[in-house]
Chains A and B, each alone.
Chain A
């Protein structure tokens, strides 16, 4: 055993430390994402048209005009979001109601609009919802 330790020279030790530091540096961003950061992403025809960081106290209502002249009114109320009003005939997006967790989305097919919450999932959250 002593022989083995003796062959493990200071240079080796330095290499190990260097590699570990490198590993830690690469991993750090994954561990230090602020817990519970939640973002609203609004996409129309797959193009990102709006990204908002949600936080308590943020209040905003805005309207997205669609290609074919349709519109959706999106309401931000702190850490929750909904499509408050839309001129589409099926109203599926409005019926979806408030989104509160990362991974949830509301979709307006006629206006090709997707409203989605992104961010780090809580440990108990699901990967997807069937409906």
Chain B
């Protein structure tokens, strides 16, 4: 009898105490965007502080514009070998791997094009063809050469041939999302890094996170939802950074083959990946946007990548892996675009 009494009182006390779960959140600027982290767990405050510090550290290492960064040093080394830290080495290696996998549709060396077009800056303009051709001579991921250190945990050496420059901006946020929370201080977290969303879960107890897929014509709204457990969702679109000249929209996603913003008939591509594959999700979404619907869908279906394509002619097309993923880590939620003239081809 005493045991029953004791159990009942413990249960009630548990209700009162809220079981010691802490919640914390923070919002800050890093990697040229705004970051938001919400976490819960035994010491969520500590987890959020550490995550913010880690993201700021990555930003200092990977920024293309900060003179103290490793990437800046590499880009200004005149083709010489440069020794870089483990994180930087690993991310350059992964960027090159993603470029190879996507046949150069994602390319971490497009920086000369980004600079030339100046999209998102006051100097945005359509360059002369001769200028584009000149910039393209430096754009090729095969110009990146890597040599791991004997001790793989120490990073390695990198050099850039033919005047190439590396810009990891396309995958750094995804990488940061995957590695910012490493301790067991947080058991569940939601990271919003720029337009990327990662849902972290340690113990399999958290509810799936419901994520809206932004409407290209009104980015505060969404056209569909997906549900994710311990995963990340990344969208690449033509609608956040662009300028218009003579009625044509020039956005920030370049086709490394043409030197122009990709004209692939898409408004956006959204990719879903496991939590720790944030950098891959970033690279894939860029590559798929450049490939366009047909090639992109084929790529996803061959590689089992869950993705959602939104086309200029208002079609919403899921890859096979998203269509058939119900009840697993990723699931398509609701289609809400009918009022806005979209059709869902699931």
Residue positions of A touching B, CB distance < 8 A: 4, 7-8, 12, 15-16, 19-20, 22-23, 26, 43, 45-46, 89-90, 92, 95-100, 104-107, 109, 112, 114, 125-131
Q: Do A98 and B12 touch across chains, with their CB atoms under 8 A apart?
A: no
Choose one: B27, B199, B211; the contact of A129 (CB below 8 Å): B211
Interface residue? B195 (CB, 8 A): yes
Interface residue? B21 (CB, 8 A): no
Interface residue? B342 (CB, 8 A): no
Closest to B213 in A: A130
Most A CB within 10 A of own CB, among B15, B195, B213: B15
Min Cβ gap A54→B in Å is 15
- Chief secondary structure at chain B's binding surface: strand
With contacts A15-B9, A46-B28 taken as known, whether A131 is within 8 angstroms of B1 at the C-beta atoms is no
With contacts A15-B9, A112-B29 taken as known, whether A99 is within 8 angstroms of B120 at the C-beta atoms is no
Q: Do A43 and B13 touch across chains, with their CB atoms under 8 A apart?
A: no
Min Cβ gap B261→A in Å is 15
Give the distance in Å from the alpha carbon of A97 to the alpha carbon of B218 in the complex: 7
Interface residue? B33 (CB, 8 A): yes
Number of A-B contacts (CB under 8 A): 101
**Which residues of the partner chain A approach B270 to less than 8 Å between Cβ atoms?**
130
Q: Do A92 and B240 touch across chains, with their CB atoms under 8 A apart?
A: yes
Q: Do A90 and B241 touch across chains, with their CB atoms under 8 A apart?
A: yes
Closest to A116 in B: B27
**Which residues of the partner chain A approach B122 to less than 8 Å between Cβ atoms?**
89
Interface residue? B146 (CB, 8 A): no
8 tightest A-B contacts by CB?
A131-B214, A19-B12, A126-B212, A129-B212, A130-B235, A131-B195, A128-B197, A89-B122
Give the distance in Å from the alpha carbon of A114 to the alpha carbon of B322 in the complex: 33
8 A/B residue pairs, CB under 8 Å, sorted by A: A16-B9, A19-B12, A23-B15, A26-B18, A92-B240, A128-B192, A130-B270, A131-B195
Interface residue? B134 (CB, 8 A): no
Q: Interface readout for B1-45 with A: 1 if CB under 8 Å, 0 if not?
A: 100010011001101101000000001110011100000000000
Closest to A114 in B: B34
Choose one: A4, A8, A19, A96; the contact of B220 (CB below 8 Å): A96
Min Cβ gap A25→B in Å is 9
Closest to A46 in B: B28
Min Cβ gap A84→B in Å is 14
Min Cβ gap A91→B in Å is 9
Min Cβ gap A123→B in Å is 10
New contact pairs (16) apart from A8-B1, A128-B211, CB-CB < 8 Å: A4-B1, A16-B9, A16-B12, A22-B16, A89-B120, A90-B120, A92-B240, A100-B220, A107-B34, A128-B190, A128-B209, A129-B197, A129-B211, A130-B233, A131-B195, A131-B268
Q: Do B210 and A89 touch across chains, with their CB atoms under 8 A apart?
A: no
Closest to B235 in A: A130
Min Cβ gap B322→A in Å is 14
Give the distance in Å from the alpha carbon of A15 to the alpha carbon of B6 in the complex: 11
Min Cβ gap A39→B in Å is 15
Q: Interface readout for B221-248 with A: 1 if CB under 8 Å, 0 if not?
A: 0100100000001110101110000000
Q: Do A12 and B219 touch across chains, with their CB atoms under 8 A apart?
A: no
Q: Do B29 and A109 touch across chains, with their CB atoms under 8 A apart?
A: yes
Min Cβ gap A94→B in Å is 11
Q: Do B241 and A19 touch across chains, with their CB atoms under 8 A apart?
A: no
Interface residue? B196 (CB, 8 A): yes
